[in-house]
Structure 1
Amino acid sequence: MGYKVAIAGATGNVGREMLQILADRAFPADEVVPLASRRSLGQEVSYGDRTLKVKDLATYDFSDVDICLMSAGGDVSKEWSPKLGAQGVVVIDNSSAFRMDPDVPLVVPEVNGDAVRGFTKKNIIANPNCSTAQLVVALKPLHDRATIRRVVVSTYQSVSGAGKDAMDELFNQTRSIFTAGELKTTKFPKRIAFNLIPQIDVFMEDGFTKEEWKMVAETKKILDPKIRLTATAVRVPVFISHSESVNIEFENPITADEARDILRNAPGCIVIDKREPGGYITPHEAAGEDATYISRIREDPTVDNGLAMWVVSDNLRKGAALNAVQIAEALINRKLLTPKKQAA
């Protein structure tokens, strides 16, 4: 007997991706229920070769739901995730609402999959920030080999990380530039078309943005609290996939060749690293793919035991929807969750 899975926020970019990934991976679900706010009631979404009608999150009966993939934003999650958890639903939350809660596991299955066992405290498991997820997938195998001391990362984040309205803004601004039309800026603080914006989320008192803080705090929680990390997060005029320039300082010696071999054999990683024009991955090529791609692996001569590399991944998939589904699979593979119908 399979599981009953609800998707909260099913009409958004990530919610739709979740539905597609559940179908693609043949997740053992007897029933999948797309949920959203009342204004989306009756809207249709795709699930494999089927079409499902969206139901109202506020009035839905969750009594026989096993797993809820929550992708409806932080405010909705803060209201609903504890309620659902109290009803015995395991919530896998894509928002930032519970990531730093000590009673909520923050999980990237390739990195700390066993941490899912901590879900029983609140029946909530948190998905990390999209930029953190791909970063720790690449860092984990190297950390195991040579112990990371410090990381300096600059991100090049696509507009899809800010939602459908942000994607529409990039499209409309680009069209306006070519047609000499009116260029409107509403979603971002400055024009995004043919531009870069060195701000993602709000500024904090120390001058870093909240997005940059998330990368620091989440990497420490997922990977190792001793790692020192500093980040600069930049929004770029790309529709899908986040890229990261990563500089790493290790406690122990490690060569670029060693790192390349380690990453080639690491779960979730694909190394594309030829030292020739085009011998690397770009966001366009990573879009729609599940892997975290790693290129430009090289030794950094300015520090002892230093490496630099380029990391790219589809932020809607590994950065959000795929990771959430993989967490659900980790629960099932470890036999931590029995379908309610079977238990009855």
Structure 2
Amino acid sequence: MGYRIAVVGATGNVGREMLNILAERQFPVDEIAVLASRKSLGTEVSFGDRTLKTKDLDTFDFTGWDMALFAVGSAATKDYAPKAARAGCVVIDNSSLYRYDSEVPLIVPEVNPQAIHDYAKKNIIANPNCSTAQMVVALKPLHDRARIKRVVVSTYQSVSGAGKEGIDELWDQTKSIYNPTDDKPAKKFTKQIAFNVIPHIDVFMDSGETKEEWKMVAETKKIVDPAIKVTATCVRVPVFVGHSEAINIEFEDFLDEDEARDILREAPGVMVVDKREDGGYVTPIECVGDFATFVSRIRQDSTIENGLNLWCVSDNLRKGAALNAVQIAELLGREVLKKG
């Protein structure tokens, strides 16, 4: 027996990717509903070899449905997630709305699967920010071995993290560079993104950091260990899909780079590609469509006593969003609901 699954926001980039991954991983689905706003009513989306028409989220009754994977913004989630949860449907939410709620588990299945049992407090599970998800997959096995004291991370985040509007803006501006009469001013981003980088993701806070940077700090502490100190600089780059991160780690105990490489090779969800030669590392283009979080450039940091540097790349629409949500659904089914 399988599950009755609803995908909320099924016409968006992440919602469509959720459907792709549910099909690819052969998630045990008995029935699936694809939901969207009224303006998208009847839009067709693919689920494996099937074509489905979206239903109206506003009038949908979640009673009798097992799980709802939400891929809509915080405003819509605030309206509809509690409605689904009250109807007995477990919500797996990709927005930021519930990530910092102490009664809602924030889960990366390779890192803190035990937190799945806390879902019942609100019948809601939160999916972390895309940049956090890939980083903690790489950090957790190293933390288990040598205890991480401090992380300094610089991110290089693709425009797909800003949704379809971000993708369209990069595409249109890139074309306009070669056609000066077709000017495409910045709308989604604060400055031109084509052939440029922008050290600004989300809103600025009083501390001077952006909300995206704050998210990485707060979520790493909640998922891995509240004692870890984290500082982040998050940068938008002219890449369509795939987030990259340069991560500097300070440990309590010494960890040799060769041992770190061996640990990461055995870690769930991690693929190590680390050859000290031209092309012996992974870039965003190569991670697109893959489930893994790739780690390269593992090396000792000689400027501190117990330090390592590494390079981390992942498909942000997959591990950073849709894949992690489906993995949470798999974990929930396996450990709690036990139908499939």
Q: TM-score range by the shorter chain?
A: over 0.9
Which amino acid in structure 2 is aligned with residue 240 of structure 1?
A: V
| 2:15 and 2:322 in contact (8 A); partners too | yes
* Cα distance in 1, alignment partners of residues 57 and 21 from structure 2: 21
Match of 1:307 in 2: 308
Match of 2:183 in 1: 182
| 2:64 and 2:87 in contact (8 A); partners too | no
Q: TM-score, normalised by structure 1?
A: 0.97
Which amino acid in structure 1 is aligned with residue 254 of structure 2?
A: P
Match of 2:251 in 1: 250
1:290-321, Cα deviation, whole Å (9 max, x unpaired): 00000000000000110000000000000000
Identity within the alignment, % = 65
Match of 2:241 in 1: 240
Q: SS in structure 2 opposite 1:111?
A: coil
In structure 2, runs of 5+ residues without a counterpart are: none
How many residue pairs were aligned?
A: 339
Which amino acid in structure 2 is aligned with residue 233 of structure 1?
A: C
Match of 1:11 in 2: 11
Shift of 1:40: 0.3
Q: SS in structure 2 opposite 1:134?
A: helix
Which amino acid in structure 2 is aligned with residue 72 of structure 1?
A: V
In structure 1, runs of 5+ residues without a counterpart are: none
Q: How do 1:165-314 residues align onto structure 2 when only pairs under 5 Å count? A: 165-180=165-180, 181-314=182-315
| 2:107 and 2:223 in contact (8 A); partners too | yes
Match of 1:25 in 2: 25
Q: TM-score, normalised by structure 2?
A: 0.99
Shift of 1:183: 2.1
* Cα distance in 1, alignment partners of residues 196 and 268 from structure 2: 34
Shift of 1:150: 0.2
Which amino acid in structure 1 is aligned with residue 332 of structure 2?
A: L
Which amino acid in structure 2 is aligned with residue 192 of structure 1?
A: I
Shift of 1:327: 0.3
Shift of 1:82: 1.3
Shift of 1:178: 1.2
* Cα distance in 2, alignment partners of residues 301 and 78 from structure 1: 47
Q: SS in structure 1 opposite 2:215?
A: helix
1:242-290, Cα deviation, whole Å (9 max, x unpaired): 0000000000010110100000000000000000010000000001100
* Cα distance in 2, alignment partners of residues 253 and 72 from structure 1: 43
Please give the root-mean-square deviation of Cα atoms over the aligned residues, in Å: 0.9
Match of 2:127 in 1: 127
| 2:33 and 2:54 in contact (8 A); partners too | yes
Which amino acid in structure 1 is aligned with residue 49 of structure 2?
A: D
Instruction: Pick which of 72-81 and 227-236 moved more.
Output: 72-81
Name segments (4+ residues, structure 1) moved above 3 Å: none
Match of 1:329 in 2: 330
Shift of 1:84: 1.1
1:186-239, Cα deviation, whole Å (9 max, x unpaired): 100000000000000000000000000000000000000000000000000000
